[in-house]
Amino acid sequence: MNHKLQDKLYSHSTNVNTEEIWNGIQKKKKKRLLIPLLLLGAFLILLTIYIISSTSVTKSSFVAKNTNVNSTATSLIKDSEYTQNSNEGNQYTSKEKDAIHSSKFINQKAYKSQTKQSFSSSKIPLPASRKASIGKTTNSNSVYLHDNSNKNTLVEADPLKSEVVENVFQKAAINDKLPKSESIELHSEKSSFPSIKNRNIINIQKIETATLYPNIDLFNYKLKTDFILPLKNRNDHNLTINIGTLTQQNILTNDTESLLGINTSLIYSRRYKNKWAFGIGINYTQYREHFVTVYNYTQGNEILATTTEIYNQNGTVELINSLITVEDKFERSISKVNEKHRLDISLHSEYRLFTWRNFSTLLIGQFNYNLLLWNNGLENKENFQGPYDINIDKLNTINKDNNLTYQYGLQLSYSLSERLLIGFKAQRYRSLNSFYIDQDLKYKGYIGGLLLTQTW
Amino acid sequence: MIKLTHIIKQCSVGNESAYRALVEFMSPMLMTTACRYISFDDAKDVLQDSYINLFKALQKTKLEAGKEALYMHRIVINNCLKRIKKKKLDFNLSENHSTQITADPIIFDRLASESIIELIHKLPKACRLCFQLYEIDGYSHKEIGEKLNISDSTSRAHLSRAKKLLQHELIVSYQKEKIKLERI
């Protein structure tokens, strides 16, 4: 390396606009910050889309299933077998049964409307399994039966001319698990019609296989054909965390003003019979009061003051002093926030009023038993007694008998996914006993809060 | 040098005005270094990148006193080489070359910086790179090989060719000067 050459060239200056360089640096710095922010924004947008689409996918998949089952159920129900006094029973194959049982949600209304339709003039196609049990068929829409007199002769029958017996449905008990359908044989009246080829009257006993669908409680399972209320928040176990603001109705003393407090709880509850839920948990409440007062007092002092001046003729002045009382006026003020904390064990209950799509409204009630209570603010009595003339005990929650409080109200929840709910609740709260020793004053007010529930 | 040390100290603390002062103080010199490798427009871009890298590095590392300028020149050279790598230079030597001839270093001492830069720019790109990195910026042949993805011997060959060409240019320019003076 040539050091002299290096020094020469390293110290050589080229004309350059430093302002331009500096501005370029600032622009590049901003660009470098922008890219990660854009990536973060894109990620949040994708996450939101995923959360929203995961709920809608559930619906559409249910709808698709439902549609398939309806059409399968309908075709199976329309289908009927004709046999010669046969009690073989044209049961549905296992595959067909599975098609019915696999669906969790069935449109009862749609089903009912379909069964009321009269059979159309078109011939009824038979499934392949049935065709094999009957005999030869020349085309998929024709049925060939054995003649009574000559079993080797196949005659074509027109099942449409027969009378259709209306299916009978039986009610089934509703339980949390999906009810299973049953297949029964309904023996219809014997009908007769002439055959085409040899004009012999063939007596046919039509055996229909009907599927019994239980009476579905629409409230619990399905509302419309295009929307299926999934089993969201129908799970048994719930864990709810709630945080809310507390407002007080009390005016404790003339010097006290109530402030907003906090109410938060963690509750585990279990669902019973779909509408009811009972649980237990921990509740924390903080009441806040602003205490402000001014105390005016006077203090008297004796001082020696010149009360009389005597001017003598000889030019002397006599001063006469005497004790006089002087009153000084004082003003003292205090402004303090007193916090009262309560940690309770809670018993919780809720009743589901009604549900619409993913929203549900509940009546909630909670009973709290105090475990621990403490105060912040006016705990040092000595600082506040004396000239203030206030009773600290009156302001503090010294009453240990005051253990019980209760809350009741309404909750509105929204299902974000199958296992997650968010909601808002508005409650009234009251204490069973007075919060004060010598005064009958019960705490009361309102709580408004947000909640998050995880179910499993 | 004391002034630069002081500015660097302030920059390491995160003083925004010190950054500005550094840019104003060092840009003319760093621009010369960058222009030896790439075009003027590209050099401005490289300089901005180099300053951003430098400001980041100053937050984490402490520079040795007296070597701040060298460090900054190195950053600029590295960024220039990154840009050059994208263009994929041909380092294959087509002519026979001799390793015996070397340019006299005294000649460069007598020449002005502008003349030296002008001479260097007349060299082929590959030779110019190797010459600058070795003779001016103090890289070893091994380091040059690593940076340019070439072998040591290729670097040496380009260097010797660069020196031979420089010598030839110097002789030509000296003769032209001589003719001018004679005419006067």
For A416, list phi and psi in degrees, rounded to 5: -80, -40
The pLDDT of residue A265: 92
Chain A touched by B31 (CB under 8 Å) = yes
Provide DSSP, B119-152. Answer: HHHTS-HHHHHHHIIIIIS---HHHHHHHHT--H
| Overall average pLDDT of the B10-16 stretch | 82
Which of B172 and B159 is assigned the larger pLDDT? B159
* Chain B CB contacts of A8 below 8 Å: 108-109, 113, 116
pLDDT of residue A438: 58
Q: Does B135 touch chain A (CB under 8 A)?
A: yes
Does the pLDDT of residue A182 top 70, yes or no? no
Inform me whether the C-beta atom of residue B106 falls under 8 Å from chain A C-beta atoms. no
Question: CA–CA separation, A341 vs A133, rounded Å?
Answer: 80
Q: For B17, phi and psi rounded to 5 degrees? A: -70, -25
pLDDT for residue A278 is more than 90? yes
Cβ separation A24–B45 shorter than 8 A: yes
pLDDT at position A235 is 64
Nearest chain A Cα to B120, which residue? A9
Q: Is A2 on the interface with B (CB under 8 A)?
A: yes
Q: Is the dihedral of CA B65, B69, B73, B75 positive or negative?
A: positive
- Which range, of A190-194, A450-454, B150-154, averages the lowest pLDDT? A190-194
Residues of B in contact with A15 (CB under 8 A): 28
Interchain proximity A12–B51, CB inside 8 Å: no
pLDDT tens digits, one per residue of A331-382: 777 777 778 888 999 999 999 988 888 888 999 999 999 888 887 776 555 5
CB pairs under 8 A between A and B: 83
CA distance A180 to A103: 10
Taking an 8 Å cut-off on Cβ atoms, the answer to whether A18 and B24 are in contact is yes
User: Does residue B45 belong to the interface with chain A, where contact is any CB pair within 8 Å?
Assistant: yes
Beta carbons of B117 and A13 less than 8 Å apart: no
Q: How far is B79 from chain A (nearest CA, A)?
A: 15
Chain B nearest C-alpha distance from A26 (Å): 9
Q: What is the pLDDT of residue A430?
A: 86
Q: How far apart are the first and last CA of chain A?
A: 74
CA–CA separation, A3 and A21 (whole Å): 29
CB contact under 8 A, A1 and B109: no
Whether A426 has a pLDDT exceeding 80, the answer reads yes
- pLDDT above 60: residue A21: yes
Instruction: Work out the pLDDT band at A424, boundaries 50, 70, 90.
Output: very high
Looking from the CA of B140 toward its CB, the CA atoms found within 13 Å total 2
Facing residue for A22 by CB, picked from B20, B49, B114: B20
| pLDDT score at B179 | 74
pLDDT of B160 above 70? yes
Tell me the mean pLDDT in the region A38-56: 70
Q: Which of B27, B29, B105 sits opposite A21 (nearest CB)?
A: B27
Do the chains contact at A18 and B117, CB–CB below 8 Å? no
Burial of residue B45, with CB atoms counted within 10 A of its CB: 0-12 exposed, 13-18 middle, 19 or more buried: middle
Whether ipTM exceeds 0.90: no
Taking an 8 Å cut-off on Cβ atoms, the answer to whether A14 and B28 are in contact is yes
* CB contacts, 8 Å: B36 with chain A: 9
pTM of structure: 0.37
pLDDT tens, residue by residue, A134-166: 333 333 333 344 444 444 444 444 444 333 333
Q: What pLDDT is stored for residue A305 in this prediction?
A: 83
B17 to chain A, any CB pair closer than 8 A? The answer is no
Q: Is B41 on the interface with A (CB under 8 A)?
A: no
